[in-house]
Amino acid sequence: MSQSNATMNLTMYRISSWLKSPKPYLMFVGFGLVLSFWYFSVEVWKLPRFQDMPSLTEVFEEWFSEDPYYGLSIYTPEYYKHIGISLRRIAYAFCLATALGVPLGLFLGWSQKLREYIFPLFELLRPIPVLAWVPLAIIMFSGSETPVIFLTFLASFFATTLNTMLGVESIDEEYSRAAYCLGASRWQTFVHVVVPGAMPYIFTGLQISIGVAWFSLVAGEMVSGQYGLGYIINTAYIMVQYSQIIIGMITLGLFGYVTSALVRLAGDYMMQWRVRELALGGD
């Protein structure tokens, strides 16, 4: 079957209906308002407390300069090295969190016994903020890379596991009953009912997971590591190179958005049935 075609078509359909709606133009107005507020407050009105803020022109001149004053712009390989390293950490942490969190969540939801063993421990660890893990992460893992990846992984892992487990619990019992009736074994029911039935929640979990991964990444990179977007922001602050802070922030926003969109696209691809129910309507 042409699954990827259907996903493509749906994506095209979404984009074209988005362009026809007032949304993209409102979006530009929104951006415009924020940017002009930034411009006027810093450069024209010079509001109090804003005098140290990097100005819009300063930031964009630096960002798009072939010879940036502080050494970081879209023309410098250094910039891409930071992005690449942050992305690599996100990829490792997110993939690891998914590879461990989804199966664990599925089994926690599926097996009452396992849940009784593990879930209380899980609930105790989950509320601990990522920053509280920083010292332990640095003690436990050597080098600068693994502690950051570990920190990035943590919150993602909890979000994915918990949502997957809730996904299993959300499945109507009649689906499993129907599967048993039709001669499926317990394991077959797990594969054909529990896994796909939990899928919508799993992808909700992955959306949250990718978001908190960026959050923790920046926290991790600020305290440990020699590269990455979080590192740029922190170093720029210490070195009083304020325009770089903004460049780091905007870049984070862009990549955070893109990775989120990729997760959403993967979800659409995996859940054709849901996409078609929602977008093209049944009854």
Binding residues with other proteins: total (CB under 8 A): 29
Query: Using the rule CB under 8 A, is 181 a contact of other proteins?
Result: yes
Part in contact with other proteins (CB under 8 A); list of ranges 44-52, 149-157, 172-180, 251-259: 172-180
How many Å apart are CA 25 and CA 122, to the nearest integer? 45
Part in contact with other proteins (CB under 8 A); list of ranges 32-40, 191-199, 223-231, 257-265: 191-199
Identify whether the C-beta of residue 255 lies closer than 8 Å to the C-beta of residue 263. no
Look at residues 248, 243, 218 and name the one whose alpha carbon lies nearest to residue 232: 248
Q: Which of 175, 237, 255, 269 binds other proteins (CB under 8 A)?
A: 175
Query: Using the rule CB under 8 A, is 66 a contact of other proteins?
Result: no
Part in contact with other proteins (CB under 8 A); list of ranges 109-117, 179-187, 214-222, 242-250: 179-187
Instruction: Give every CB contact of residue 72 below 8 A, 6+ residues apart in sequence.
Output: 62, 78, 79, 82, 232, 244, 247
Minimum gap (Å) between residue 105 Cβ and other proteins: 18
Identify whether the C-beta of residue 217 lies closer than 8 Å to the C-beta of residue 150. no
Compute φ and ψ for 40, nearest 5 degrees.
Answer: -70, -45
How many Å apart are CA 276 and CA 76, to the nearest integer? 44
Query: Using the rule CB under 8 A, is 196 a contact of other proteins?
Result: yes
Which residues of this chain interact with other proteins, rule CB under 8 A?
1, 172, 174-175, 177-185, 188, 192-193, 196-197, 199, 271-274, 276-277, 280-283
